Structure 1
């Protein structure tokens, strides 16, 4: 067996099966058993080619500059091996006898094939100095056959096959539109009409899977989440209210959860933050292209909304408005948020059927009704320019989390008869306020997260941002109101150190990713090592992103432990957050890598070999 002539990752010219056309491809791997190369075309197609179907790039390059189609055609005809040389009829007149003999020879079929090479326009990267292509769809190609023409009763039949671009393609560079005439020498036996193998287009190529795989356990997982997540929130909050360990499994007063006044206050909270969201302050950035390909603009005024909320709370304290009303009716507020999230989800699902197909999320038409309702069909729903998903993701729930924490601090002082809050309560409030303030100060990084770019807006995000986030993420502060824990100063210092370490990793990795995404050639990032990809982008393999594949998730987990440790070890309830977050981030890391593998192909496998661990080095 012959060895491997081409290296993995090498750019070569590969012949498209069933044609004589060569396109630029990249060697992905080589199988010594079958002697086949796995190659990747620019449009993402992966095929296996034999060694004889692969040629080097320089063999196709013309060192003397571009040649006109007519010159190239005449040169090809004159140099074709096995073709008989004959004088041109226009230069040498023929006698009648000579014409008769020639006509006898032309009784056989002569095939003339006109081929126009396909033009690949899906690839949006840069290979070998080519200009970047912005088209997102591969130009549809189709094969048409011209009817046989009989010329001058000479029984000569001419078959013409044209590989023409689709009608929508209006401009094609002349140097790419070359007509190549191939003539076959007539043989004594009758020539059978050849079967033309059409060129396969991006729409006609077989797709491995027409729809994305179902996530979160598919339809069953979505159904269980919709049914059990709301009562789970109420159960956990009701457990925090119990002061005796024997009462932790006390029945939940579901009949007392409905309170129209609480619902009204919750609606006022949403209206207040909708006004903050609409303020014309803060810079406007363009987010990355989502699955629909349509980039959206986002106004970054989240930190301003946080400051305005703090001022509003201070004014309410000054006016002696009873903020402890929120603590006393915390379960009712959670129930009101659940009701509003369900109504919002129903509205989003109904309005999604008016959305264009390109505005749907990847899961928009997958699975059953329950799965689509849970995942969300429309990607970025708007009402007169008001971005619903971005608003609910980064405004009322996220800011409500720290607002509730502040109320729990006041409630602890009132319930425990303290003049000052406990060290545990101060640690929890400080750590989580720092986390939220950092997220809103660096809001530009949030516009590229998976929730905004990939996931549709359905029950998962509506309930998660209106109920799960503000009420369960504040579980530690709510727990400490009725279960005080005294933390020693050395213990507090150790917890602060752990949170600081997690914050450094979290902030450093996110800032490094954001700066590299903005400007990969930034001199401040010149020390970082990267690997190129077929999309034209680069992947970091040093710095924070060379330590593990998801360093920001590692920092997030370290901070989560620092938030739970001030609650002591008398009950597992305060650690629900870190348990839930671990499962969430592990699952999200797997989802991230599935998307990256589909996007980068073999280049992602190369990255995983360079950075083998996901979250914790040498462990996972």
Structure 2
């Protein structure tokens, strides 16, 4: 593996991605595993560049013209003709700036091209008038393009026109969007390096809000969620028990089992090993408050395959996997204890984290609320991200693993040679959903859990206990409560789940593709509205029908998973009611964040798309 070529802290020339322009940058760090350099531009922007995109300062020293050989200069280019000298596109020498300009290399001749960008004055934008009106916003783009076009100076020995300048135009044109809702001069005129005066909007002040009812609500949830979990587990795994019966004192004592705790710890370590394997691609999360983007290993799909291989090996060597079913309550207790310990560790280490690495809840100052919501946004040890790991590996892998265990348990308890059609439907539907999520795992990096919530008791309990167990309730119920379904009912359930899955998949894929590249020709049919934040909002197609079509598809699938359990008990339908309440609350949280981010643009978007979840109803 090649070694580091440039030293940390050294000043070099770095190419701006997507163009041939090189700017003066500083080496921040080097990652041997990816062979990428993290560099910092003069405006504070940090990017990862390859070795081929970085050059030394000495390689950009422009050639000096030989004043003793005027005939040579005339023979190399026609640019000294009278017509060229009178060209209006050339700037007088006194107007040129003394600071270094970005340069680009002529790949065919090995020469250099200088691009001189003169400052853009605040007055040129026609904003901040005394009467409060902003004039000529629509002319800003044309002005910037013309201003750049007339300030490009070629060296005499170059004959090809400048083409990479268009990338600079595109970047600076985006600054025009910040003029839409701001009207005063005090909010502008922060100068950036490279002789460009970029207008910036002061970030909107974030409103401190308490979610889930604040301190009282989160305390109630911490005290009520574990008992509710064990109640549902007890009801679904027992046969013919009263609806209001619960554990006896002796049964609660039996929940502690050191052997089971050891097996569960081994399960977590196995998933952590799969998480750390250098397989799968590396993706970047959304930019943080400090401007950096964290790296994430996208290998959840590979991890699930490895878990399946391990389970297949255990079956081959005739290991009794029904041990998990027989000690399911003890495994739930071990997972709950593990989540509590992990939450205590997360909040303890968060007090050493800088303030800019805390979540919004972590800045509230209330310990109970902070413990539940999470104080540190992205707690990490090296490349091991606790929140991201818990959200993917043990939760999703545990969900699929428990469903398979319930399939084996049904065949054992009901004395069946093959699993029932109800059990097959539940396992197939939920496995399809998991495979889709893991195949599109990169989209999770933009979810509310990753970008907004800290890592605390809520996410630890959800990832280690709630998802694997509550999401497997239908399979647990069918072990002791067999259900016979007719072919017509089976076909109807399959159609319903397929419709929900297609809606869920198409909406999520479209959203992710648009976030990745809004200018993708495949998305040209979508209608959008611009925002002052610089992004666009979709107002046609699925995202023009309702504001959250992916949540609607998720809900349809959730209820389709419950239907194979019949209608003799309400217990297996808990997941449907739970997910409905969860997504309704998430709709509120997401729209609150969007309203803070987009301001009046969000209100305009809501006029275009009036329904949140269900067309013409809600």
Q: Report the TM-score when normalising by structure 1.
A: 0.70
Q: Tell me the SS of whatever aligns to 2:296.
A: strand
Q: Is the 8 A contact 1:302 1:394 kept in 2?
A: yes
Residue 307 of structure 1 pairs with residue 305 of structure 2 = yes
Counterparts of 1:249-264 in structure 2, within 5 Å, are: 249-252=245-248, 253-264=251-262
2:135 alignment counterpart: 56
Give, in whole Å, the separation in 2 of the partners of 1:54 and 1:568.
64
Question: Would you tell me which structure has more helix in proportion to its own residues?
Answer: 2
Q: Tell me the SS of whatever aligns to 1:299.
A: strand
Q: 1:464 to 1:291 in 2, by over 3 A?
A: farther
Give, in whole Å, the separation in 1 of the partners of 2:262 and 2:327.
13
Question: Which of the numbers 192, 212, 219 marks the counterpart of 1:223?
Answer: 219
Question: Which of the numbers 214, 233, 236 marks the counterpart of 1:237?
Answer: 233
2:415 alignment counterpart: 417
TM-superposed deviation, 1:442: 0.9
| Residue-by-residue CA offset, 1:106-146 (whole Å, 9 max, x unaligned) | xxxxxxxxxxxxxxxxxxx978564899xxxxxx989xxxx
Residue 392 of structure 1 pairs with residue 402 of structure 2 = no
Q: 1:474 to 1:216 in 2, by over 3 A?
A: same
| Residue-by-residue CA offset, 1:233-292 (whole Å, 9 max, x unaligned) | 111101112211436514352111000001000000000011111111111111212455
Give, in whole Å, the separation in 2 of the partners of 1:244 and 1:22.
80
Q: 1:288 to 1:481 in 2, by over 3 A?
A: same
| Residue-by-residue CA offset, 1:425-446 (whole Å, 9 max, x unaligned) | 0000000011111100111111
Q: Is the 8 A contact 2:264 2:334 kept in 1?
A: yes
Give, in whole Å, the separation in 1 of the partners of 2:568 and 2:405.
24
Give, in whole Å, the separation in 2 of the partners of 1:402 and 1:541.
36
1:540 alignment counterpart: 538
Q: Tell me the SS of whatever aligns to 1:273.
A: helix
Q: Tell me the SS of whatever aligns to 2:363.
A: coil
TM-superposed deviation, 1:294: 2.4
Q: Tell me the SS of whatever aligns to 2:264.
A: helix
1:504 alignment counterpart: 502
Q: Is the 8 A contact 1:378 1:457 kept in 2?
A: yes
Counterparts of 1:332-411 in structure 2, within 5 Å, are: 332-366=330-364, 368-411=366-409
Q: Is the 8 A contact 1:472 1:577 kept in 2?
A: yes
| Residue-by-residue CA offset, 1:134-162 (whole Å, 9 max, x unaligned) | xxxxxx989xxxxxxxxxxxxxxxxxxxx
Q: Is the 8 A contact 1:530 1:540 kept in 2?
A: yes
| Residue-by-residue CA offset, 1:389-442 (whole Å, 9 max, x unaligned) | 111101111110010000000000000111111110000000001111110011
Q: Is the 8 A contact 1:214 1:367 kept in 2?
A: no
Q: Tell me the SS of whatever aligns to 1:539.
A: strand
Q: 1:366 to 1:485 in 2, by over 3 A?
A: same
Q: Is the 8 A contact 1:127 1:536 kept in 2?
A: no
Q: 1:218 to 1:130 in 2, by over 3 A?
A: closer
2:264 alignment counterpart: 266
1:147 alignment counterpart: none
Q: 1:54 to 1:383 in 2, by over 3 A?
A: same
1:246 alignment counterpart: 242
Q: Tell me the SS of whatever aligns to 2:453.
A: coil
Q: 1:23 to 1:398 in 2, by over 3 A?
A: farther
Give, in whole Å, the separation in 1 of the partners of 2:196 and 2:242.
83
Q: Is the 8 A contact 1:292 1:360 kept in 2?
A: no
Q: Tell me the SS of whatever aligns to 2:292.
A: coil
2:602 alignment counterpart: 604
1:493 alignment counterpart: 491
| Residue-by-residue CA offset, 1:354-395 (whole Å, 9 max, x unaligned) | 001111111111152100000001001111221111111011
TM-superposed deviation, 1:334: 0.6
Q: Tell me the SS of whatever aligns to 1:53.
A: coil
Question: Please, what is the CA RMSD of the aligned residues?
Answer: 3.1
TM-superposed deviation, 1:526: 0.9
2:468 alignment counterpart: 470
Q: Is the 8 A contact 2:257 2:330 kept in 1?
A: yes
Give, in whole Å, the separation in 2 of the partners of 1:53 and 1:550.
37
Q: 1:175 to 1:498 in 2, by over 3 A?
A: closer
Q: 1:25 to 1:599 in 2, by over 3 A?
A: farther
Q: Is the 8 A contact 1:480 1:567 kept in 2?
A: yes
| Residue-by-residue CA offset, 1:489-515 (whole Å, 9 max, x unaligned) | 110110000000000000000110111
Q: Tell me the SS of whatever aligns to 1:321.
A: coil
Give, in whole Å, the separation in 2 of the partners of 1:59 and 1:525.
25
Q: Is the 8 A contact 1:211 1:366 kept in 2?
A: no
Q: Report the TM-score when normalising by structure 2.
A: 0.70
Counterparts of 1:58-97 in structure 2, within 5 Å, are: none
Give, in whole Å, the separation in 2 of the partners of 1:490 and 1:433.
23
Give, in whole Å, the separation in 1 of the partners of 2:475 and 2:508.
27
Q: 1:176 to 1:525 in 2, by over 3 A?
A: closer
Q: 1:164 to 1:607 in 2, by over 3 A?
A: closer
2:549 alignment counterpart: 551
2:454 alignment counterpart: 456
Q: 1:60 to 1:388 in 2, by over 3 A?
A: closer
Q: Tell me the SS of whatever aligns to 1:569.
A: coil
Give, in whole Å, the separation in 2 of the partners of 1:307 and 1:498.
28
